[in-house]
């Protein structure tokens, strides 16, 4: 765990935490256990996990089992360091009854040849090994050569050990109350989550942005034979429909305010992009047209043609952990580029990911750019070389698999087509393709509509996207002195802030505890700052939203939602009809 502080600051924090937390939680039940991972290098991640776990232990008595230690390859991938001794001290300060050095345990079992896997299905285990190896090697997919390598065989053996050990915990003599994890993907986290879900154990997934943000899965909410993310997507969609969209009239002023503020830091999650180049400085369609004309000349685009922007992903990031309709993120990007080469009626801009170098050492993006070099209607460029103002002025349609542009761009009137699921895919913000054939059909229709001057986005989609912005940035961001905002840094400042709060502030009506109790008691898929009760007005003819029946992990379906009539949100920043031909047709 990265915790570069003075011994004085570290010691004082531990002393105050050891005094504070025993007064907050119920006396532990020796027959129940709360499992928390402290495997991440960043102390902010560990702080969130342990604080959430203890908030739940205020409601359910349980001993606290904390996993520490790190396979050296993970700190290397993050370009950070991990200190097992300090992670252990941190866990003890939060009341850990048992601490397991996971890395040492796995190495011991590997050395003894004990590599029999747990009960995880073979295809799920293989998917997790593929995703882990791609991430650690920073490659977009597994070739036959990689699969036959010693390194891959070692990754398979490690995954088998993880899966069996986690099954031993979940199916042991004690009842597991919940699993709290900062990740739900990859071997050391994903296999813990898989064991928990197969055992009917609630899973809490904390987020690395904002204050305390958490997604949750409870066994009674269903989703058999699916990954955590695939189970989450329809449940978040149902929550959004019932508790956000149904109250849109009440929430609209707040959503409009957040949409305005979000223009200046659209880089969230915070590690992707921040600073001045993340600002969208446009205030109205006139300014957008002016910047658009300049940007089109810069790239040699025909300014009278629409522009389709394809946003590359971190091509090794969490592969296959939600519904995706192409074999890999790289396959989607390559196939879209091949299609774009033949579709000359529009301009195409292909952008890499802002953190591309941290996730890809294969040269995938540069190789694809070279393959299509010299094609006049196609441009490949670094996303960090363009301001958000330029990017969003050019885009008449955005393409992604699951990227955050699919909730950001619609909020400002720019349509997006998705080739996979994110947690917001069932909220009605963007078009979501169900399979490759559907993706190509939707893309062809979108291009035809742009050329015909037709709008690709409705006022309702714009409002839904702005409501999602509000939900993500405000409604589900629980502010508490126990978990300072992510940007509270360096560690000296972070620990001092939490220490002062623990020492000076009484926990009566503590918002974090109230939020966790609300989520836990009501079995909600996410932590919320307030109750967010469902609206009481149901438009005539609207059917209630229900989650889809359980389905195979490879099937891509979203819940069917009957929508009320569209309402017109504010268009103070962007018109909902972007392309000049579209705007002209609308004005006529």
Beta strands in 218-372 (DSSP E): 307-311, 347-351
Q: What is the pLDDT of residue 76?
A: 84
DSSP-derived pairing of the beta strands 203-206 and 214-217: antiparallel
Cis link prior to 490 (omega < 30° from 0)?
A: yes
Fold agreement between 7-206+505-522 and 244-473+571-587:
yes
Euclidean distance between CA atoms 569 and 588, whole angstroms: 21
* Angle, CA of 547, 187 and 181, to the nearest 5°: 60
DSSP designation for 321? S
Q: Are 422 and 390 in contact (CB under 8 A)?
A: no
Euclidean distance between CA atoms 432 and 430, whole angstroms: 6
Q: What is the pLDDT of residue 277?
A: 57
Q: Which fold has domain 7-206+505-522?
A: Rossmann fold (3.40.50)
Q: What is the pLDDT of residue 534?
A: 84
Euclidean distance between CA atoms 566 and 223, whole angstroms: 31
Q: Are 412 and 288 in contact (CB under 8 A)?
A: no
- For residue 445 the two structure tokens come to 């229709």
CB atoms within 10 A of CB 239: 22
- The residues with which 480 forms a beta bridge, in sequence order, are 483
Q: Where are the alpha helices (DSSP H) in 112-149?
A: 122-137, 144-147
Euclidean distance between CA atoms 410 and 255, whole angstroms: 13
Euclidean distance between CA atoms 521 and 58, whole angstroms: 12
Q: What is the pLDDT of residue 1?
A: 55
**Three-state secondary structure readout of 13-29:** HHHHHHHHHHHCCCCCC
User: What are the φ and ψ backbone dihedral angles of 555, each rounded to 5 degrees?
Assistant: -85, 135
* Angle, CA of 186, 191 and 193, to the nearest 5°: 105
Report the SS3 class of residue 351.
Answer: strand
pLDDT values of the chain reduced to their tens digit, one per residue, 588 residues: 556 778 889 999 999 999 999 999 999 999 999 999 999 999 999 999 999 999 999 999 999 999 999 888 888 888 888 999 999 999 999 999 999 999 999 999 999 999 999 999 999 999 999 999 999 999 999 999 999 999 999 999 999 999 999 999 999 999 999 999 999 999 999 999 999 999 999 999 999 999 999 999 999 998 888 999 999 999 999 999 999 999 999 999 999 999 988 877 654 543 344 555 567 888 788 888 899 999 999 999 998 999 999 999 999 999 999 999 999 999 999 999 999 999 999 999 999 998 888 899 999 999 999 999 999 999 999 988 888 888 889 999 999 999 999 999 999 999 999 999 999 999 999 999 999 999 999 999 999 999 999 999 999 999 999 999 999 999 999 999 999 999 899 999 999 999 999 999 999 999 999 999 999 999 999 999 999 988 754 443 433 333 322 223 333 333 333 322 333 334 444 443 333 333 333 333
DSSP designation for 243? I
Report the SS3 class of residue 37.
Answer: strand
Euclidean distance between CA atoms 501 and 478, whole angstroms: 16
Provide the edge-to-edge strand list for the sheet that holds 98-101: 98-101, 63-68, 32-37, 175-181, 203-206, 214-217
Q: What is the pLDDT of residue 274?
A: 53
Q: What is the pLDDT of residue 539?
A: 40
Q: What is the pLDDT of residue 559?
A: 34
Q: Are 182 and 70 in contact (CB under 8 A)?
A: no
CB atoms within 10 A of CB 145: 8
Report the SS3 class of residue 280.
Answer: coil
Torsion of CA 217, 223, 228, 234, to 10 degrees: -80
- For residue 129 the two structure tokens come to 């090994």
Euclidean distance between CA atoms 151 and 159, whole angstroms: 12
- For residue 441 the two structure tokens come to 């059909």
Concatenate the DSSP letters of all residues of 174-185 into one string: SEEEEEEES-SS
Q: Which fold has domain 244-473+571-587?
A: Rossmann fold (3.40.50)
Domain ranges of the chain: 7-206+505-522, 244-473+571-587
Torsion of CA 107, 74, 497, 478, to 10 degrees: -110
């Amino acid at each position: 765990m990265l915790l570069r502080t003075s011994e004085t600051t570290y010691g004082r924090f531990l002393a105050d935490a050891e005094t504070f937390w025993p007064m907050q939680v119920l006396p532990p039940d020796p027959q129940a256990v709360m499992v928390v991972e402290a495997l991440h290098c960043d102390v902010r991640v560990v702080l969130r996990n342990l604080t959430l776990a203890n908030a739940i232990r205020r409601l359910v008595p349980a001993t606290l089992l904390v996993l520490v230690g790190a396979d050296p390859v993970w700190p290397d991938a993050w370009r950070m360091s991990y200190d097992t001794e300090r992670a252990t001290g941190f866990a003890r300060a939060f009341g850990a009854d048992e601490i397991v050095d996971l890395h040492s345990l796995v190495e011991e079992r590997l050395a003894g040849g004990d590599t029999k896997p747990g009960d995880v299905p073979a295809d799920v285990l293989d998917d997790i090994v593929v995703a882990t190896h791609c991430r650690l090697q920073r490659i977009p997919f597994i070739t036959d050569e990689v699969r036959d390598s010693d390194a891959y065989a070692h990754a398979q053996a490690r995954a088998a050990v993880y899966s069996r050990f986690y099954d031993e915990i979940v199916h042991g003599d004690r009842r597991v109350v919940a699993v709290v994890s900062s990740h739900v993907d990859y071997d050391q986290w994903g296999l813990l989550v898989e064991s928990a879900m197969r055992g009917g154990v609630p899973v809490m997934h904390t987020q690395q942005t904002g204050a305390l943000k958490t997604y949750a899965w409870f066994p009674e909410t269903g989703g058999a034979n699916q990954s955590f993310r695939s189970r989450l997507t329809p449940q978040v969609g149902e929550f959004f429909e019932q508790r956000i969209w149904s109250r849109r009239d009440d929430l609209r002023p707040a959503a409009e305010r957040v949409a305005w503020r979000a223009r200046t830091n659209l880089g969230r999650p915070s590690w992707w992009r921040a600073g001045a180049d993340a600002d969208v400085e446009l205030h109205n369609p006139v300014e957008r047209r002016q910047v658009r004309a300049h940007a089109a000349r810069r790239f040699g685009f025909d300014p009278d043609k629409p522009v389709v922007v394809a946003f590359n992903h971190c091509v090794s990031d969490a592969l296959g952990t939600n519904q995706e309709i192409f074999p890999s993120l790289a396959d989607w990007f390559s196939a879209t580029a091949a299609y774009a080469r033949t579709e000359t009626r529009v301009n195409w801009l292909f952008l890499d990911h802002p953190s591309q170098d941290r996730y890809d050492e294969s040269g995938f993006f540069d190789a694809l750019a070279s393959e299509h070099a010299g094609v006049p209607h196609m441009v490949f460029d670094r996303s960090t070389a363009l301001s958000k103002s330029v990017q969003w002025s050019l885009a008449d349609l955005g393409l992604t698999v699951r990227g955050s542009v699919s909730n950001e761009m619609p909020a400002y009137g720019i349509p997006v087509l998705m080739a996979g699921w994110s947690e917001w895919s069932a909220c009605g913000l963007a078009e979501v393709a169900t399979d490759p054939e559907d993706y190509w059909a939707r893309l062809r229709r979108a291009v035809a509509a742009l050329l015909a001057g037709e709008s690709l986005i409705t006022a309702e989609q714009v409002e839904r996207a702005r409501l999602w912005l509000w939900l993500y940035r405000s409604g589900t961001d629980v502010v508490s002195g126990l978990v300072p905002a992510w940007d509270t840094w360096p560690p000296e400042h972070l620990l001092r802030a939490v220490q002062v709060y623990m020492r000076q502030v009484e926990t009566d009506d503590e918002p974090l505890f109230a939020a966790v109790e609300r989520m836990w008691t009501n079995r909600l898929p996410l932590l919320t700052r307030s109750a967010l009760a469902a609206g009481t007005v149901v438009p005539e003819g609207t059917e209630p939203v229900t989650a889809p029946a359980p389905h195979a992990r490879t099937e891509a379906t979203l819940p069917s939602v009957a929508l009320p009539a569209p309402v017109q949100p504010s268009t103070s920043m962007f018109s909902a009809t972007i392309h000049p031909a579209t705007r002209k047709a609308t004005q006529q």
